[in-house]
Structure 1
Amino acid sequence: MISVSNVRKLLYLRQAMRNQWLKKKEIEEIQRRMMRGMIVHAYDNVPFYHRKFREAGVTPDDIRTVEDLRKIPITTKKELKENFSDLIARGVDPSSCWMPRTSGSTGIPLKAAYGRRDEDYQKAIALRPNLACGQHLRDPWAVLTAPHHILDKKHWFQKLRFLSPTFINIFADLQEQIRLLEEMQPRVIDGYPSALYLLAREMKRTGRKTINPEIIFSTAEHLSPEMREGIESTFGIRMYDQFGCVEMGRTAWECPEHAGYHMDIDAVVMEFLRDGEPVASGERGEIVYTGLYHYAMPRIRYAVGDVGVPTDEECPCGRGLPLMKEVEGRSDSFIQTPDGRIYPQMTFWAIMRTFAHAEEIAQFRVIQERTDAITVPVVRGKNYREGIDEEIRRHIIGVLGEDVKITVSPVDELPRDPTGKVRTVISNAQIQW
């Protein structure tokens, strides 16, 4: 029997597929109306936001446009964690909500509550880019993910093999992952960039060409140019990156034109800020979200900690969804030197490119404990040789300068986060934007 929820998902998905082809101004009007409804709801029904608005001297009548959102103070991760019960809307039973949890990679693990309608809308928005990039309803679909994302229960349409992923545990041995994929022969593969990269590297190392997907999606981690090149060269196809977070759902994605990331402005408002002010097109800014469908637990002007570059350019595909030019990762994946210079994680991929291509190192991680102290554990490659550690150290100093102490040390492997991600750059120093 088809449930009300599943019918609702299909209706939301149909509307989402139509929305993407509307003119930009038409989608912006949808966004504005949804934003107005959320602001009124949060003020009337969510104790945390009622207090926050009152303390700022703001009422819903003051928030008429997306630009008016700047009158509302930003909500931090710390506030989200410490005020969870006051963020649940009146009349919502938390036990009936879907409550995914973040990895806590920023040091602040969180949970977010999605009501049933919220969850249905979130799933529709998440499926839109897959269908837009050519995935078919009955495609064999493999998802490389951590065990806690693997679901035992299937929806009715998945039992009929519609949009039915087969989950592969990324903590499993790489050879076992490859065996399962060879057996399945998926048309679509989806997963963390680090998991896809490790898979591609192992297949290239062993010379295996036994898995031939037509579509590859990456999500949940920053996709560096080097990772993209490694994955695409192994499988011989262009991949599609998607962007979002547990708290907000999918928020931006690449279409077949690869001109940037279409922002899902019929689901979220995305502000790009530096020092609290909007950045210009082409400038780097910290992303602040306002959710438009998160009624059980609203997130308004929520600073998630990601950094991106907006653009006024239009995509050749003709979609009205505006573009984010680049995703630059989490704010804690930037390195700042004592003199204030800021480097994104792709800086270190560029430094390590020669050593990686020569297979002298297999993986690396950059950990900044203080602005003047960085450690770099490297996994030995098959051509690892004595003296590599010192060469890497000199290359990094050549970019960052002599004021930073660099310690490079060989290791057997890099531990994954509890979620299964393998982060490349981790900064424990407070970045001054």
Structure 2
Amino acid sequence: MGAVNAFRLLMEARRNQWLKPAELEELQAKRLRAMIQHAYDNTEFYHRKFKDAGIRPEDIKTADDLKKVPFTTKSEVREHSTGSMLARGVDLRKCIVTETSGSTGIPTKVVYDSNANDFSKAINLRSHFESGLTPWSRWAIFGDPHHFQKPTWFQKFGLLSPTWISAFDPVEKQIEFLRKFKPDVLSGYTSSLYLLSSAIKEKGVEGIAPKVVISTSELLDPSTREYINSVFDVEMVDHFGCVELNRTAWECSEHTGYHIDVDAVAMEFISDGEAAAPGERGEIVYTGLYNYAMPLIRYKIEDVGVPSDEACPCGRGLPLMKLIEGRSDSFMQTPDGRTFSPIIWTLIMRQIPGVGHFKAIQERKDLIRILVVRDQAFTEATTGRIVHDVQEVMGEGMHVDVDVVEEIPKDKSGKVRCAVSKVGKAI
């Protein structure tokens, strides 16, 4: 990342957040029109998609016009990201090519050129600075080692220099490092932060006292938030995004909702093919506004959220999404047609004595398998209580198998998702 360009973009992004909503809409529309024209003129993929849909770039003037454009699916990106989706003249050898975690078993390649990478990092840093990060903070991040990047020249002098911790490392190793490192800021996967907090409390570990804790990449439910806050004596904040577009929304200290980075992305919430109303759950669809190397227009990320029309008391002009409910393949369906958010698993399982960590896997519409790591309160009655409480919520037609295991297996990225459905999408 070019230092001068990066800091210029960061300062611009920090100013943008205080623009009035109408000014941000105008800025977004200007960047959207430029991206649409570029994608049409310079990528075979979107030129063909627009032609097939009978639309031209001039038909898209604002984010409201995006409904005219067909969706871009994950399977299309997997197939075309380093081919017809690349802009004319892009040299892959000079780009950063990263991959998503591939929870389907097939990772998606994402291409950023240097300009897009600078812009992306500026937007990401904005949310961290607003959460309490400073240029000289001792900053530790839990993550996927496949995404770790080599430090730039200024990071070698300790400026904006995060230290990466592999989510795959045993928690004992993580604790040993953090006691020596003494981070001011601790961020990364929600599941890693929870597992660390649990181990610190259980073992009575001292000497790890970050001033700022930031979760990302996974659902942060109220119970997990409260638990992590209690262990570290902080008011943690949650950030939201994806590998394909990096940071897209984030909490400020008001915890009113998630500020959407509308100067970097156009975010839609789609329910039954139409725009979801404020307060209504919808599947998130993204259009990126800065990655000219590999444009993404109306990209179905397969996450679910709820738009909000409230204004945050903080005064920022960035609009809010009120709630993030998780990936669409984390939602569970029941034989009687009901749909449950992954948040219910925390609400159910955290009330049952003897359950340490857990993961719920829907194998069929009428079968859920629950992996449980027991804690010291586990008894023979715990399994029966799990079956009873799940059926009480999801119906007696739902069969529940409980497997007691030593450890919950992590995804390829190192995350630990508490809920996964193998049934067709519920939303």
Q: Bin the TM-score by the shorter chain.
A: over 0.9
Pairs aligned (count) = 426
Unpaired runs of 5+ residues, structure 2, are none
CA displacement, residues 308-360 of structure 1 (integer Å, 9 cap, x when unaligned)? 011000100000000011110000011011222110111111111222xx4x1
Q: How far apart, CA to CA, are the structure 2 residues paired with 1:168 and 1:45?
A: 39
In the alignment, structure 1 residue 51 sits paired with structure 2 residue 44: no
DSSP 3-state at the match of 1:124: helix
TM-score (ref. length: structure 2): 0.98
CA contact (8 A) 2:270 2:283 kept: yes
Q: How far apart, CA to CA, are the structure 2 residues paired with 1:183 and 1:233?
A: 22
Q: Which residue of 2 aligns with 1:398?
A: 392
Unpaired runs of 5+ residues, structure 1, are none
Out of 198, 208, 211, the position equivalent to 2:208 is 211
CA positional deviation for 1:431: 2.4
Q: How far apart, CA to CA, are the structure 2 residues paired with 1:54 and 1:42?
A: 12
CA contact (8 A) 1:266 1:292 kept: yes
DSSP 3-state at the match of 1:374: strand
DSSP 3-state at the match of 1:105: coil
Q: Which residue of 2 aligns with 1:287?
A: 284
CA positional deviation for 1:107: 4.0
Q: Which residue of 2 aligns with 1:125?
A: 123
Q: Which residue of 2 aligns with 1:427?
A: 421
CA positional deviation for 1:432: 4.1
Q: How does 1:319-358 map to 2 (within 5 A)?
A: 319-355=316-352, 358=353
DSSP 3-state at the match of 1:112: strand
CA contact (8 A) 2:98 2:147 kept: no
Q: Which residue of 2 aligns with 1:377?
A: 371
In the alignment, structure 1 residue 39 sits paired with structure 2 residue 42: no
TM-score (ref. length: structure 1): 0.96
The one-letter code sitting in structure 2 at the alignment partner of 1:10 is F
In the alignment, structure 1 residue 177 sits paired with structure 2 residue 174: yes
Out of 60, 68, 71, the position equivalent to 1:63 is 60
CA positional deviation for 1:164: 0.7
CA positional deviation for 1:208: 2.2
The one-letter code sitting in structure 1 at the alignment partner of 2:120 is Q
CA positional deviation for 1:403: 1.8
In the alignment, structure 1 residue 304 sits paired with structure 2 residue 298: no
CA displacement, residues 71-110 of structure 1 (integer Å, 9 cap, x when unaligned)? 0000100111122200000011122111110011134410
DSSP 3-state at the match of 1:181: helix
Q: How far apart, CA to CA, are the structure 2 residues paired with 1:76 and 1:168?
A: 32
Identity fraction in percent: 50
CA displacement, residues 258-286 of structure 1 (integer Å, 9 cap, x when unaligned)? 11100000000000001110111111100
Q: Which residue of 1 aligns with 2:236?
A: 239
DSSP 3-state at the match of 2:283: strand
In the alignment, structure 1 residue 367 sits paired with structure 2 residue 389: no
CA displacement, residues 144-179 of structure 1 (integer Å, 9 cap, x when unaligned)? 22322333x321221221111112222222122112
CA contact (8 A) 2:142 2:192 kept: yes
Are the structure 2 counterparts of residues 234 and 26 from structure 1 closer, same or farther at C-alpha, using a change threshold of 3 Å?
Answer: same
DSSP 3-state at the match of 2:28: helix
Q: How far apart, CA to CA, are the structure 2 residues paired with 1:399 and 1:25?
A: 44
Q: Which residue of 2 aligns with 1:94?
A: 92
Q: How far apart, CA to CA, are the structure 1 residues paired with 2:84 and 2:71?
A: 16
CA displacement, residues 349-395 of structure 1 (integer Å, 9 cap, x when unaligned)? 1111222xx4x111111101221111111111112111211210111
Q: How far apart, CA to CA, are the structure 2 residues paired with 1:432 and 1:216?
A: 32
Q: How far apart, CA to CA, are the structure 1 residues paired with 2:366 and 2:7?
A: 53
Q: How does 1:221-236 map to 2 (within 5 A)?
A: 221-236=218-233
